[in-house]
Amino acid sequence: MNTAHFRYRRTLLHASSALALGTLGDMAHAQATDKWPEKPVRIIVAGPVGANADVVARALGEQLSKRLKQPFVVDPKPGAAGVIAINDLLQAPPDAYTLLVGVSSLVSEIPHIVKMRYDPRKVITPVAELARGGLVLVTAPDLPARNLKEIIALSKSRPDGLSYASYSPGTMSHVAGLLLAQSTGGRFVHVGYKGSTPGLSDLMGGHIPLMFDGLATSLPLIRTGKIKAIAITSPKRSPFLPDVPTFQELGQPEMTYTGWMGLWSSSTLSAPARETITLHVQAVLDDPIYQTIINNAGFELPSHRSSYAMRQVLLNDYDLIGKALQGTKVGP
């Protein structure tokens, strides 16, 4: 046997052995994740106790506990627009026993606002969409404009335009007003708040005329007539507000946007583990008990998009928001 032939055979044997070991490793990992969970699972929440993310996380955790006979411990970590929660997730072992519930803005919006040591687009991955909802343009009850056309005309007629509130500078609540001004020529002046509650309070009191807000927080006030709903950013009308048109219907397709609450993992979590978790979570999403809790909280039911599809939307939203914020003073 010549030297070249011997080297070829040795290389082939090494490659075959590596492939076999890799296959055995993958099989062992798959068998391990099939048994998930074998101990309690911790769900970090990017938000305070009682807030939307906490409500969704507890609904998910309770149903998973019933199905899988293991505790799912909800652990709220509020602060720094979700950065504290992400840090907590990244410090835990990527073993499917520490997950995170938080809004899509953790990736699409927050990096434009908060200085971070890492890129959320790379370090965390969406596992499943848990709930969704668009933004709604709401007005003070005494604003002399009944629809979007009249609001735009009113903003143009006033030298200083119309002020609008956001629940935080740099978020889609802020960007929505920038997009509306760009597409219509209206004059809209942003006023950033620290959360929906103070913004809605000033809106009800007539201290600010407009606000872009999440439907879950605005809906109770809309239903009681304390504020008025003008249009929503979702691609379809909300089942909670069937008489309120979408921006797309009103000729503003660039205003179409849907935020969502998701279950996230570290990006280093193995694909088999992520797939196992997704399988169990999707079963919960189809449970009428979970769906009732989500609807009662003012959210629409989630889609069954893949992790890849969710990532693509996040990246598109990230670029959209970044472009809209160019020229503003918002930034990390």
Predicted pLDDT at 8: 41
Please choose, from the candidates 15, 17, 82, 14, the residue with its C-alpha nearest in 3D space to the C-alpha of residue 44. 82
Mean pLDDT (the chain) is 88
Cα angle at 46 between 132 and 232, to 5 degrees? 30
Would you state the pLDDT for residue 331?
Answer: 66
24 pLDDT above the threshold of 70: no
Amino acid in the structure at residue 17: S
Q: How confident is the model at residue 332 (pLDDT cuts 50, 70, 90)?
A: low
Please state the pTM of the whole predicted model.
Answer: 0.81
So what's the pLDDT on residue 12? 42
pLDDT of residue 15: 44
Cα three-residue angle 90-52-173, rounded to 5 degrees: 90
Residue 62's Cβ-count burial label (10 Å; 0-12, 13-18, 19+) is: middle
Confidence tier at 72 by pLDDT (50, 70, 90): very high
Cβ within 8 Å of residue 28, ≥6 positions away:
none
Asked whether the beta carbons of 211 and 165 are under 8 A apart, the reply is: yes
Task: Give the tens place of pLDDT for each residue, 75-108.
Answer: 999 888 889 999 999 999 988 999 999 999 899 9
| Contact between 249 and 271 (Cβ < 8 Å) | no
Closest CA to 53 of 86, 76, 71, 87: 76
Percent pLDDT > 90 in the chain is 68
> Residue 166: which pLDDT band, with cuts at 50, 70 and 90?
very high
How large is the average pLDDT for residues 249-258?
93
pLDDT in tens, 119-155: 999 999 999 999 999 999 999 999 999 999 999 999 9
> Where is average pLDDT lowest: 12-21, 43-52, 190-199?
12-21
Tell me: pLDDT of 20 over 80: no
Sign of CA dihedral 233, 223, 138, 55: negative
**pLDDT higher at 74 or 116:** 74
Q: Is the pLDDT of residue 191 over 60?
A: yes
Q: Residue 117: pLDDT above 80?
A: yes
Quickly state the pLDDT bin for 25 (edges 50, 70, 90): very low
